[in-house]
Copies of this chain bind each other. A is one copy, B any other.
Amino acid sequence: MISGERFSVIYRLVGSEKEAIKKALDICLEQTVEFPEELVPRGMIRDHVVGRIESVTPISQASCRVTISYAVETASGELTQLLNVIFGNISIKPGIVVEEIYLPESLLKSFRGPRFGRQGLRKLLGVPHRPLLFTALKPMGLSTAELAKMAYECALGGIDIIKDDHGLTNQVFAPYEERVRLCTQAVAKANQETGFKAIYVPNVTAPYNQLFQRARFAKEVGAQGLMISPALAGLDTMRELADDDSLALPIFSHPAFQGSYVTSAENGISHFALFGQITRLAGADGVVYPNFGGRFSFSREECRRIAEGTETPMGHIQPIFPCPGGGMSLEAIPDMLQVYGRDVTFLIGGGLFRHGPDLVENCRYFREMVEKMV
A residues near B (Cβ < 8 Å) are 1, 26, 30-36, 39-41, 44-45, 48-49, 73-74, 76, 78-81, 83-85, 87-94, 136, 138-142, 165-167, 169-173, 205-210, 229, 231-237, 239-240, 255-264, 266-269, 290, 295-298, 326, 349-351, 353-354
The residues of B that contact A349 with a CB separation of less than 8 Å are: 34-35
Query: What is the chain B residue whose CB lies nearest that of A298?
Result: B92
Complex CA–CA separation, A44 to B290 (angstroms):
28
Asked if B354 contacts A240 (CB within 8 A), the reply is no
Complex CA–CA separation, A260 to B136 (angstroms):
28
The residues of B that contact A81 with a CB separation of less than 8 Å are: 167, 169-171, 205-206, 232
The residues of B that contact A49 with a CB separation of less than 8 Å are: 139-141, 173
Asked if B80 contacts A206 (CB within 8 A), the reply is yes
Asked if A240 contacts B78 (CB within 8 A), the reply is no
Select one of B92, B166, B172, B351 contacting A84, CB under 8 A. B166
* 6 tightest A-B CB contacts, nearest first: A234-B234, A92-B259, A33-B139, A91-B259, A88-B256, A45-B141
* 22 contacting pairs across A/B (C-beta < 8 A): A30-B295, A31-B167, A32-B140, A33-B141, A34-B138, A34-B167, A36-B350, A48-B141, A76-B171, A76-B172, A80-B206, A81-B167, A81-B169, A84-B167, A90-B259, A91-B255, A91-B260, A208-B239, A209-B240, A232-B234, A233-B236, A260-B268
| Known A34-B138, A49-B139, A173-B1: A353·B39 in contact at CB below 8 Å | yes
Complex CA–CA separation, A235 to B257 (angstroms):
12
| Known A34-B138, A257-B87, A353-B36: A80·B232 in contact at CB below 8 Å | yes
Asked if A84 contacts B232 (CB within 8 A), the reply is yes
Select one of B79, B93, B256, B353 contacting A91, CB under 8 A. B256
The residues of B that contact A35 with a CB separation of less than 8 Å are: 138-139, 349-350, 353
Query: What is the chain B residue whose CB lies nearest that of A45?
Result: B141
Instruction: State how many angstroms separate the Cβ of A306 from the closest Cβ of chain B.
Output: 12
Query: What is the chain B residue whose CB lies nearest that of A176?
Result: B76
The residues of B that contact A41 with a CB separation of less than 8 Å are: 139, 141-142
The residues of B that contact A30 with a CB separation of less than 8 Å are: 295
Query: What is the chain B residue whose CB lies nearest that of A255?
Result: B92
| Known A140-B74, A141-B45: A229·B260 in contact at CB below 8 Å | no
Asked if A267 contacts B259 (CB within 8 A), the reply is yes
Asked if A88 contacts B167 (CB within 8 A), the reply is yes
Instruction: State how many angstroms separate the Cβ of A373 from the closest Cβ of chain B.
Output: 25
The residues of B that contact A80 with a CB separation of less than 8 Å are: 169, 205-207, 229, 232-233
Query: What is the chain B residue whose CB lies nearest that of A175?
Result: B76
Complex CA–CA separation, A130 to B221 (angstroms):
57
The residues of B that contact A240 with a CB separation of less than 8 Å are: 207-209
The residues of B that contact A165 with a CB separation of less than 8 Å are: 34
The residues of B that contact A136 with a CB separation of less than 8 Å are: 34
The residues of B that contact A235 with a CB separation of less than 8 Å are: 232
Asked if B45 contacts A78 (CB within 8 A), the reply is no
| Known A239-B208, A264-B264: A167·B32 in contact at CB below 8 Å | yes
Query: What is the chain B residue whose CB lies nearest that of A297?
Result: B94
Query: What is the chain B residue whose CB lies nearest that of A35?
Result: B139
Asked if B140 contacts A92 (CB within 8 A), the reply is no
Select one of B45, B170, B239, B259 contacting A93, CB under 8 A. B259
Asked if B229 contacts A84 (CB within 8 A), the reply is yes
